[in-house]
Structure 1
Amino acid sequence: MAFNVDLTNCDREPIHIPGQIQPYGFLIAVDNDNIIRYHSENVSDLIPGLPSLLLGKELSEVEYALSPNEPMGFISQLVTFGKTTKSFEQINPFQLELNGNSYYMIIHQADDLFVLEFEPANSEATADMQKMIGRSISEMLADKNLQNLLNNSAEQVKKVIGYDRVMVYRFAADGHGVVIADARNEELESWLGLHYPASDIPKQARELYKLNHTRIIADVNSIPSKIVTLADGEPQPLNLTCSQLRAVSPIHIQYLKNMGVASSFSISLMYKKELWGLIACHSYTPRYIDYKARESAKLIGQILSSALEFRQDEENQQLQDQLFANVEKISKQMQRSNSLEDALTTDEVSILNVTYADGAVLIYEGNTFKFGKVPNDDQLAGLLQWIKTDVTDTFFCTDHLSNKYAPALKYKDIASGIIVSAISKEMGEYMIWFKPEQLKQITWAGNPEKPAEVDNNGMLNISPRTSFEAWAETVTARSAAWSNEEVKAVIRLKEELTYAINQKASAIRQLNEKLKQAYEELDTFSFTISHDLKNPISVIKSYAQLLTRDASIRPEALRVIDRIVDRADKMNYMINEVLDYSRIGRSEIDFMDVKIGPMVNDIIKDLSLVYDTARLQITIGETPVVKGDPIMLLQVFANLLSNAIKYSQRADPQQISIEGKITDTGVLYRIKDNGLGIDIKQLPRIFELFNRTDNVKDIEGSGVGLAIVKRIVEKHRGKIWVDSELGKGSTFYVEFSNPA
């Protein structure tokens, strides 16, 4: 089925099912019974002796031509071996002699089919590839400077694969890219610093680069070979997501032709499992490098990705340590001072030092404190009114404020970027940071507005740029981006401030009256749940279980009834969780010494009965005694350890550690895992009731556990916070103060 690319859908072009392949190789796809369901039209052209139509034949019927030097049925055995081991990595690539030429066979699974791709086993790249790559990697990593690393990498890749131009191309947050390193033949002009719009490499193409870390287009002028299939037996096109031979979007082919490029090769650069950029290689004559050469080039990309991640993490850690040190100083100031305002606004270190902002404002208990460059009083009043009415979350961050709040354009030189952290939305108390406009000129490779042509039906169709002359654009009203480290520091400061407020100022704030009212409502709510909800749920479950005894009920209906019983149990579980949450607020604590070590060991034994702990590596450090209620403390550690195990089940190995230490003010425990992690944007709400992050929706949970933990910890006059990153795990810190 044809897909017409126009201005409304160019980012949805189904490039993974083009229905054709590049003609330098050929393809055969078989089902689970080794029956050929698809193949490329050029099979018989490249392999004499094969009929032009192979559909419906068993793979064994054509193996005489595909593997003449191997035992009969050998390819079928390879496919079966891969299916049995659920991996074709040990097989790929398998070298065959076909028609006097050497070919690589690469096998992969596509949905319920198994795709066999055959491509020439020869390359125009240097024959001594392995030795050259070893030398190149050493030279790549010789310099610790990040830019020098990228420059060296471009030069070394060019030496290894011999393309005319090799660029390191980095993606921005909005999907557009910029050339940040460039190695080229002397006669070619530099493209260093040129920006390319996101539509040049649209979203679905970027997703494929995350799955396939190399991509070759051998000759833009070659005519693709169509994939044939049974006329009425295969309604769906063959999924070529993981195909080496996958044909190229006509839009991209025309794009390369307009640039004068005859062949391209790209290597993905990854950072924390996301696409950071590409090593993009261009040749102005057709050029083919074979599978093994591409795999060797992929190794360079993987090593460069690791080096990038290491150096970027090292740089990020230095920034975070610096900002967190300032948060720690403010925290100590709040502990020493009777005035939170004084602690936050001291000359030594203030809230301004928690980020790299040029200005900050603290609005607290009816007072406004200003630091550095901030909007004037009238501008600030309007901004605060907008924040109160339009910013619904307790945390807000942007580097383009005037795009959200138009009046800010008048003071873009002060506040183009803003972070808002609400201390109390109800009382209009906030911490706000400002970054000024960072004027910059972006040089695009041609006008970034992709031109279009009107077809006979009046549809605007994409027409790839024909001009790649530099086109400058000045970006205004945007600040420097807020880093993850700045966001983490603000979140941490908010936790410290909330703790200090609860410790020192709660008795004189309106919050007390609201809490009393909330407790009364919670008591009423708890009573309603106990009597008005639990009984009907029990009745529903009982009736559903009675229905299962009726022999006349069909199996489909029984499955629905089982689902009803399961959901009733789930609802009952959530009601009990809410009741636990409400009881904590009313419970009085009789402080006593609680030994945490034996408690942790018992918890882990119990959890091993619930979860698969075969791959679990758990480290238990020092476990100092905590003063508190044993039952409540058991809830805290059981919940945190259960979460650590539950959300790190996919890690291999699964690593969890717990350790405590005695501090000047009490006892600090740390529970660390290497699991799924938490998106930084969701960290501010992680302890809220019924809050569950997007990446754990498929894992059983109620969203109440961490809210209960936080409430218990606060009941013990302690505090809890978390440091986490997606894909890298989470570290929860619980600090228990010594009771007065």
Structure 2
Amino acid sequence: MNSFGPSPDQVDLSNCDREPIHQLGRIQSFGYLLAISMDWIIQHVSANIADILGRRPDELLGLPLNQVLPLATMHTVRGKLQLLAPNAGSERLFGSELFGDGRRFDAAIHISSTSIVIEFEEAREETFGNGNPGAVIKAMMARIERSTTSDAVFNECVRQLRAVTGFDRVMLYRFNDSGSGAVVAEALNRDIEPFLGLNYPATDIPRQARQLYLRNRVRIISDVDSTDVDIVPPTGPTGEPLDLSLSVTRAVSPIHVEYLKNMGVSASFSISIVIDDRLWGLFALHHYHPRHLSMEMRSTMELFGQVISLVIEGRLSKEMRRVEEEARDLHDRVVGRLVATSPTMEELIDFADDFRELIHCDGFAIWAKDVVRTVGRCPFPDDMPGLTRFLNRASASRVYASDDLSSVYPKAHDFMDRAAGLLAIPISRSPRDYLIFFRKEIVETVTWAGRPDEKPVEFGPNGPRLTPRKSFEAWQETVRGKSRPWLSSELKAAEALRVSILEVLLRFNEEAERQQTLATQRQELLIAELNHRVRNILSLMRALVVQSRVSAKSIDDFSAIIGGRIQALARAHDQITDDKYQAQSLRSIIQTEIEAYVGHKVTRVHLDGPPVLVEAKTFSTLALVFHEMVTNSAKYGALSDSLGHVDVEWRVDDNECCEIRWRESGGPAVQPPTRRGFGTTIIERSIPHDLGGEVTIDYHLAGVRGRFLLPPRTFWLAPEGGEAAHPRNEEGKPLRTDKSAGAAQSRLAGKRALIVEDNMIISLDAEQMLVDSGAAHVLTAMSVSEARRIIESETIDVALLDVNLGGETSFPLAPLLEKARIPYVFVTGYGEKLELPQDVGTDVEAIKKPFATDQLIAALERALDRRGA
């Protein structure tokens, strides 16, 4: 090889793309050409023009066109030009007497830059059956439209084209995204080799050739061995050659002529299939002898190409719509489940089966917060951090897909046996989280029409180029490292899924923030109420101690009075918090609050009204309201001294509402409050807000007046005598007074008891209650382990177990006590119903703190009786 010449190694496939095939400066031998300026002066002619006009090219150049064409033809040409726009195709004349001498020509007129180009060729008689080109197209389309599938449409198209044109071979060649293509339908003579299913590389039809197929939808090569005709002069005054992109007689690239000769083809004709302004495919017609189609036939086939492009586009769109509708239905079901459950990113793995049904894959992974979760055939977890860093380089808001991952991410070679293709859906921005679909490698055998890489290098006017291959025998190539490609419908489904997941996660985050805000507000309200209640309770306890001292005659009497009133307060609290309560007497609600908080002053409160029962959901609201009314009266109103009294009356009015009147009198002078506290808010707002009723509070100098209106749905009238007049215990029996506690001493006399309680003061209090009731010996424990040791080493007759022992519960002691047949009672500080474990006996009781002596002794007595102790 000459060391000064270019090396074949320096030649690539783009050399073919640089050939100016639209400016070759020649036309085919069956045609003639005149190019004129916009003011009708001849600029270019074909070298064979003398065969038609009898005048040499140099005699015509520079002449006005009206010296060559008759006025009638000039008029016709002007009319055709009126329909044209620059670079917008050509207008045709068929069988026209262009020169007014009886000879008939077919002509094509188009505008090229600043020139008007007129091409003409001798008119030929074409066999159209009934002589009507339109009828031919109609008959062809009638047969094609009977086809039910796209493949059937393709096959019928090539059959019809071969029947009408008479070419030896008619192929439908479809392009793929890479520019290469395959023969998807074929009709041919019996004695020639089929090309159906063969693939052709993108370099067989260079880029500029594809552009010409878009602009000029049909192209004829009548005879590859004919000598082309030069354009005279080859360039214009500015040195530019005439652009023949829209020419119907344009000569063919020598490279393409060589390609056809290597295939043994003598004549060819092509019809472009354009869908969405893209070259979707070609009808390629080959003949093994010279063959020419008239301009009228070529124009008819151009119309066929435009119609069939619409038909194929419609069929493809229909199939795409069907696929998209199925995907949309799947998408809606998946998103519906997502919305219903509002999962976190980590929980999306639970929807793997739904996602895999929507986008078919061999493996699925979720990368969230730098942790991977996989289902199916995926790369190993150690491979995922590097892969996600590669994905991070892609756009944050785009679906990324590749069916040849190792070609863009070399490390994918390490797991190519598990995943060769990837589709990634980003579902966050920072840090990047992904849904990733993997497809396994598909080892594919591609059959090419000859080896695509067997192209010798030659040197021409445009530098070194790859010449067309000379062999078109089927050659098979094994393609590895690729997966099944991702379809456009799958990419659309992935994008829709990305948007929906982001919406779901956004909604989830918004809902989480809303719930957190509500929880914060509830917590703040709870803290405020708790603070208010605790302060009231502390104030109440102090008042109970001070007021009880006046009537107490001894220490024991003082202790009994204090204990009884504290227990009354606990009963009222239980009524408010117990979620198992039934309808309650309005009188009982008010009476309970009065007895709990004013003690010996209860006789100064007068209650009067019919037997009204209030709904369970209404009770807690009324209990809170009258608790505030009673405590306010005890602190500031009629019950705060020794003279005042309170009248509470209720009735059912004409609107079937329950009207409650609260009237204080005889107490100290009343002043309206200078600030609105939490208690005032409860009084004024609880009934309107929770029950839909009304509240009016007036601060008269002589005493507070209150009016409370309950709507009909919150209460009903009970039969006479049907309401409970006094609070009752959990068994429905009247609560015993402390004076009856001594009766229980004989039941515990001589018994050995165990108290498990982590609070020392409560433990000592309970121990004293048991000792006072006759227990012979009381043992105490503060933990489960300590209690277990006592049970295993001591004789125990009965046990009292506090449920909550700080960091543990006393439930583990239950099986041990059950095995030893030791009766026991639970004690709990929780207001709601206590849920006991399954291994605890069904007859075991649980009493609530704070408990009175009689309540505790009665519960222990019942436990002893049930176990036959």
Query: 108, 111, 126: which is aligned to 2:110?
Result: 108
User: Normalized against structure 1, the TM-score is what?
Assistant: 0.63
| Equivalent residues in 2 for 1:287-366, closer than 5 Å | 287-341=291-345, 344-346=348-350, 349-365=353-369
The Cα shift of 1:491 comes to 1.3
Provide the rounded CA distance (Å) in 2 between the counterparts of 1:480 and 1:445: 22
Measured at CA, do residues 382 and 28 of structure 1 come closer, stay the same or move farther in structure 2, by a change above 3 Å? same
Contact kept? 1:50, 1:62, Cα under 8 Å: no
Aligned equivalent of 2:54:
48
Query: 429, 440, 443: which is aligned to 1:439?
Result: 443
Measured at CA, do residues 372 and 319 of structure 1 come closer, stay the same or move farther in structure 2, by a change above 3 Å? farther
Partner AA of 1:200 in structure 2: D
Provide the rounded CA distance (Å) in 2 between the counterparts of 1:57 and 1:450: 51
Contact kept? 2:106, 2:123, Cα under 8 Å: yes
Contact kept? 2:445, 2:476, Cα under 8 Å: yes
Provide the rounded CA distance (Å) in 2 between the counterparts of 1:459 and 1:275: 29
- Residue aligned with 1:441, SS: strand
| Equivalent residues in 2 for 1:110-509, closer than 5 Å | 110-122=112-124, 126=128, 128=131, 130=133, 131-229=135-233, 233-341=237-345, 344-346=348-350, 349-365=353-369, 367-388=371-392, 394-455=398-459, 460-505=464-509
| Equivalent residues in 2 for 1:474-623, closer than 5 Å | 474-505=478-509
The Cα shift of 1:343 comes to 6.8
Aligned equivalent of 2:24:
18
Measured at CA, do residues 49 and 147 of structure 1 come closer, stay the same or move farther in structure 2, by a change above 3 Å? same
Provide the rounded CA distance (Å) in 2 between the counterparts of 1:428 and 1:302: 47
Q: Which has the higher contact order (CA 8 A, sep 6+)?
A: 1
Contact kept? 1:399, 1:482, Cα under 8 Å: yes
The Cα shift of 1:286 comes to 0.7
The Cα shift of 1:49 comes to 5.1
Deviations 1:76-95 (CA, angstroms, capped at 9, x unpaired) = 32333344454599962243
Query: What percent of counterpart residues are identical?
Result: 33
The Cα shift of 1:366 comes to 5.3
Deviations 1:377-417 (CA, angstroms, capped at 9, x unpaired) = 12223322332357766432111100011121233243221
Provide the rounded CA distance (Å) in 2 between the counterparts of 1:257 and 1:180: 23
Provide the rounded CA distance (Å) in 1 between the counterparts of 2:458 and 2:31: 36
Provide the rounded CA distance (Å) in 1 between the counterparts of 2:179 and 2:217: 18
Aligned equivalent of 1:615:
none
Aligned equivalent of 2:36:
30
Provide the rounded CA distance (Å) in 2 between the counterparts of 1:328 and 1:232: 64
Q: Does 1:96 align with 2:96?
A: yes
Partner AA of 2:155 in structure 1: N
Aligned equivalent of 2:867:
none
- Residue aligned with 2:400, SS: strand
Provide the rounded CA distance (Å) in 2 between the counterparts of 1:494 and 1:126: 55
Query: Structure 2 stretches of 5 or more lacking a match?
Result: 1-10, 517-869
RMSD between superposed Cα atoms in Å? 2.7
Q: Does 1:74 align with 2:72?
A: yes
Provide the rounded CA distance (Å) in 1 between the counterparts of 2:494 and 2:462: 52
Contact kept? 1:206, 1:275, Cα under 8 Å: yes
Provide the rounded CA distance (Å) in 1 between the counterparts of 2:27 and 2:334: 62
Measured at CA, do residues 414 and 312 of structure 1 come closer, stay the same or move farther in structure 2, by a change above 3 Å? farther
Contact kept? 2:81, 2:109, Cα under 8 Å: no
Deviations 1:634-686 (CA, angstroms, capped at 9, x unpaired) = xxxxxxxxxxxxxxxxxxxxxxxxxxxxxxxxxxxxxxxxxxxxxxxxxxxxx
Deviations 1:686-737 (CA, angstroms, capped at 9, x unpaired) = xxxxxxxxxxxxxxxxxxxxxxxxxxxxxxxxxxxxxxxxxxxxxxxxxxxx
User: Normalized against structure 2, the TM-score is what?
Assistant: 0.54
Query: Structure 1 stretches of 5 or more lacking a match?
Result: 64-71, 513-740
Provide the rounded CA distance (Å) in 2 between the counterparts of 1:247 and 1:280: 17
Partner AA of 1:95 in structure 2: G
Aligned equivalent of 1:728:
none
Moved more, 348-357 or 401-410: 348-357
The Cα shift of 1:123 comes to 5.2
Measured at CA, do residues 96 and 488 of structure 1 come closer, stay the same or move farther in structure 2, by a change above 3 Å? same
Measured at CA, do residues 267 and 338 of structure 1 come closer, stay the same or move farther in structure 2, by a change above 3 Å? closer
The Cα shift of 1:429 comes to 1.2
Measured at CA, do residues 84 and 387 of structure 1 come closer, stay the same or move farther in structure 2, by a change above 3 Å? closer
Contact kept? 2:455, 2:466, Cα under 8 Å: yes
Contact kept? 1:344, 1:351, Cα under 8 Å: no
Larger radius of gyration: 2
Provide the rounded CA distance (Å) in 2 between the counterparts of 1:458 and 1:85: 38
| Equivalent residues in 2 for 1:57-68, closer than 5 Å | 57-63=63-69
Provide the rounded CA distance (Å) in 1 between the counterparts of 2:426 and 2:445: 34
Provide the rounded CA distance (Å) in 2 between the counterparts of 1:456 and 1:240: 22
- Residue aligned with 2:154, SS: helix
- Residue aligned with 2:60, SS: coil
The Cα shift of 1:124 comes to 5.6
Measured at CA, do residues 100 and 57 of structure 1 come closer, stay the same or move farther in structure 2, by a change above 3 Å? same
Partner AA of 1:102 in structure 2: R
Measured at CA, do residues 450 and 38 of structure 1 come closer, stay the same or move farther in structure 2, by a change above 3 Å? farther
Provide the rounded CA distance (Å) in 2 between the counterparts of 1:136 and 1:264: 21
Provide the rounded CA distance (Å) in 2 between the counterparts of 1:415 and 1:293: 52
Measured at CA, do residues 338 and 391 of structure 1 come closer, stay the same or move farther in structure 2, by a change above 3 Å? closer
Provide the rounded CA distance (Å) in 1 between the counterparts of 2:153 and 2:461: 51
Deviations 1:446-486 (CA, angstroms, capped at 9, x unpaired) = 11015123449995332211111111111111112211211
Provide the rounded CA distance (Å) in 2 between the counterparts of 1:287 and 1:362: 61
Partner AA of 2:31 in structure 1: G
Contact kept? 1:337, 1:343, Cα under 8 Å: no
Partner AA of 1:314 in structure 2: K
Provide the rounded CA distance (Å) in 1 between the counterparts of 2:256 and 2:91: 32
Contact kept? 1:32, 1:114, Cα under 8 Å: yes
Moved more, 461-470 or 164-173: 461-470
Deviations 1:433-458 (CA, angstroms, capped at 9, x unpaired) = 11222221111111101512344999
Contact kept? 2:169, 2:287, Cα under 8 Å: yes
Contact kept? 2:124, 2:294, Cα under 8 Å: yes
Provide the rounded CA distance (Å) in 2 between the counterparts of 1:348 and 1:370: 9
Measured at CA, do residues 144 and 330 of structure 1 come closer, stay the same or move farther in structure 2, by a change above 3 Å? same
Aligned equivalent of 1:661:
none
Partner AA of 1:74 in structure 2: A
Number of residue-to-residue matches in the alignment: 498
The Cα shift of 1:232 comes to 6.7
Measured at CA, do residues 448 and 459 of structure 1 come closer, stay the same or move farther in structure 2, by a change above 3 Å? same
